Amino acid sequence: MLLAVDVGNTDTVFGLYESGEWEHLWRMRSLPQESEAHYESRLRLHFLEAGLWFGDVETVVMSSVVPALSPIIQRVLRSLFGEDIVVVGPDSYPELEIAIDHPHEIGADLIANAAAVMNRYHENCVIVDFGTALTFTTVSREGKILGVAILPGLLTAVKALFANTAQLPEVPLVLPSTAIGRNTTQSIQAGILLGYEGLAKSLLQRIRTELGGECIAVATGGLASIIETLQDEFVEIDMQLTLDGLRIIGESVRAKEV
């Protein structure tokens, strides 16, 4: 059994993988101010409710984009599963070349996404991750991360608009039927959702042009299905892409230790 842990800006996701599938998925808020005891008790409860034993986990692999929370989660994992956990970084998966100026600056979750896509497809690919940040990670058919485009995620944009304007409310992320909003809610939905639709299509087109036109796209992240009109742009929408990449990296590291 393998445990993959993805520490994100909004949530930390724990996935237990066995017999070719993700048997259990648990999500906790990423709160660096919380104690180790908070996360350990939550994880113990999940294992207890699922009828699982910590000793059943053979491999633990973790990625994090929250430096303040990373050591807390690492200590919890080492306390429950032993010292030998895999913490993903730019050197964790040599099969994937990180061909950017400063490899240590790239998020570990993007490395995991790239590892998953590299093993699934053998062609140029853009991974669009709809999370707290919206990221476009370009991976070549040769297995190189060529670069990344980053901008605020959908929910982040809505919250920023709500926080920095006096009269605009926080609205649900529902795709409107028209770009001409007739009330405040429709107007914000049109601006954010239809605006991001155009943004995503434009960035994908530009990336494809820079790669000579041959490039597929894969989507992941909690909001990947929100903009339904974008779905034809993707060969696949996989909500567990990051976890699957973590699994691939963890299994590769363990195999090399044998």
C-alpha dihedral over 72, 39, 21, 215, to 10 degrees? -50
Among residues 6, 56, 91, 109, which one is catalytic?
Answer: 109
- What is the rounded end-to-end Cα distance, in angstroms, of the chain? 17
Whole-number Å distance between alpha carbons of 63 and 111: 9
Residue 147: partners with Cβ closer than 8 Å, 6 or more residues away: 99, 100, 137, 138
Provide the 8-state DSSP code for 257. Answer: H
61: which strand partners? Answer: 4, 86
Phi-psi region of 123 (alpha: psi -120 to 50; beta: other; left: phi over 0): beta
Rounded distance between C-alpha atoms, residue 251 and residue 28, angstroms = 24
Q: Residue holding tokens 């058919």?
A: 141
Q: Which residues contact 195 (CB under 8 A, 6 or more apart)?
A: none
> For the residues of 20-54, what is the DSSP string, one character each?
TEEEEEEEEE--TTS-HHHHHHHHHHHHHHHT--G
Name the residue type at position 242.
Answer: T
| Active site annotation includes 109 | yes
CA atoms within 13 A of residue 99's CA, in its CB half-sphere: 11
**Which element (helix H / strand E) includes 258?**
none
Catalytic residue positions? 109
